[in-house]
Structure 1
Amino acid sequence: MSQPRLHIIVGSTRPGRRGPAVAGWFHALALKHSGFDAGLVDLAAVGLPLLDEPRPPQRGQYEHEHTRRWSRTVDAADAFVFVVPEYNHSYNAATKNALDYLAKEWQGKPVAFVGYGGVAGGARAVQALLPVVIALGMVPSAGAVHIPFIRLSFTSDGTFEPAPGLDENATGVLDELLRLTTVRSASGPATRVG
């Protein structure tokens, strides 16, 4: 049996963002973990415009090619990790937009989070995301990774340097996500969209 496919989604799209470096660190840990076939998905590269589909996503009747591409990307994954910044006590608009584009593609799939920001370490972003992913029928992991004072986690040359214990925290999140993914796989094959 092949490994479950994990998509690590870089949620921030703004210039100067920290998300790609944080996601790169988590991706390297996921590869070392070896429980997943892990890949990075950068919402800045996906380039979704503000939701522009005329029909509700529950119908799966997509008019635009960018939506069909996004649908195939999400449908191909068995689990997700969203790497999200905390903006104004919540998560960013690009992440919400990406989630809202689709419906059936998310259903039943496990999800975990890596939040980063200031004093709260992205915890408020993760908390705000929970009701959204639950409404989409996803299965959130009990654990999350929180990185407070994100700017202090970077060296002068722009390299992300995780605080002591962060690798272990992230590995625990991967363990839980793999457990959820395995339980989901054991309950029967997923119905792919399209």
Structure 2
Amino acid sequence: MSKPKIGIIIGSTRAARFADVPTEWFAKIAKARTDIDVEVIDLRDFPLPFFEEVASSAWVPSQNEVALRWQKKIASLDGFIFTAAEYNHGPTAVLKNALDYAATEWNKKPAGFVGYGGVGGARAVEQLRLHAVELQMAPTKAAVHIVWADFLAVKQGEKKLEDLEHLNQAAHGLIEETVWWAKVLKAARLADAEAAEAEAA
């Protein structure tokens, strides 16, 4: 079995977004591992319109070219880490929209979260976990929560995320749990595919 491919999805597209900072920090930690391949996925590269398909792609093939390209990218990955900004006690609209534009491509893959905001993005992360369950993903218990004091210290240039040991520990815990689930679920998906091929033969 090939190494699992983990996608780190930047969950904001604002020009002034903070998301690039935790993405770069977390990607460096994840890429230090030799048992996975890591790719950063920027939603800016997939300018999806607000969901306007006839139905979910679980039931009707999407027509939008960007949506098809997005689904192909998600299908190529075995697990996900999402950066999760918190707006009004919830995740960004652009991230929710991106989740809605794929369906089976998310199934049976782990989802972890790096939240930031007033309470470390905790409320956004909790909502995203509910969405992940509905998409038949396996959301991790481990997460990274960059609380407001740390967020401001980093944003104002007083500290860097790598200087904050509690966040480094959380990041290592998150990637460890995500990789475990990615390996297990990839093996299970392959076994299912082989069983389906044998049954069809």
TM over 0.5: yes
Show structure 1 runs of 4+ deviating over 4 A. Answer: 157-162
What's the counterpart of residue 176 of structure 2?
175
1:178 to 1:184, Cα distance in 2 relative to 1, 3 A: same
What's the counterpart of residue 30 of structure 1?
30
SS in 2 for 1:48: coil
What's the counterpart of residue 87 of structure 1?
87
What is the CA RMSD across the aligned residues, in angstroms? 1.9
Calculate the TM-score normalised by the size of structure 1.
0.91
Deviation at 1:157, TM superposition (A): 9.3
After the TM superposition, which residues 1-194 of structure 1 pair with which residues of structure 2 at under 5 Å, given as runs? 1-118=1-118, 120-149=119-148, 150-156=151-157, 162-189=163-190
Deviation at 1:82, TM superposition (A): 0.5
d(CA) in 2 for partners of 1:60, 1:5: 27
- Whether contact under 8 Å (1:155, 1:161) holds in the other structure is no
Deviations for 1:85-122, whole angstroms, at most 9, x for unmatched residues? Answer: 0111111101100001111111111110000012x011
Deviation at 1:18, TM superposition (A): 0.4
Deviation at 1:9, TM superposition (A): 0.3
d(CA) in 2 for partners of 1:114, 1:72: 24
SS in 2 for 1:57: coil
1:47 to 1:158, Cα distance in 2 relative to 1, 3 A: farther
Aligned length: 190
Question: Bigger radius of gyration, 1 or 2?
Answer: 2
Deviation at 1:160, TM superposition (A): 5.2
d(CA) in 2 for partners of 1:151, 1:53: 39
d(CA) in 1 for partners of 2:158, 2:70: 33
What's the counterpart of residue 196 of structure 2?
none
Calculate the TM-score normalised by the size of structure 2.
0.88
- Whether contact under 8 Å (1:154, 1:160) holds in the other structure is no
Higher helix share: 2
SS in 2 for 1:62: coil
- Whether contact under 8 Å (1:8, 1:27) holds in the other structure is yes
1:131 to 1:184, Cα distance in 2 relative to 1, 3 A: same
- Name the stretch that deviates more: 54-63 or 33-42: 54-63
d(CA) in 1 for partners of 2:130, 2:177: 19
d(CA) in 2 for partners of 1:60, 1:8: 27
Unaligned runs of 5+ in 1: none
Unaligned runs of 5+ in 2: 194-201
Percent identity between the two aligned chains = 36
- Whether contact under 8 Å (1:80, 1:111) holds in the other structure is yes
Deviation at 1:38, TM superposition (A): 0.3
1:60 to 1:179, Cα distance in 2 relative to 1, 3 A: farther
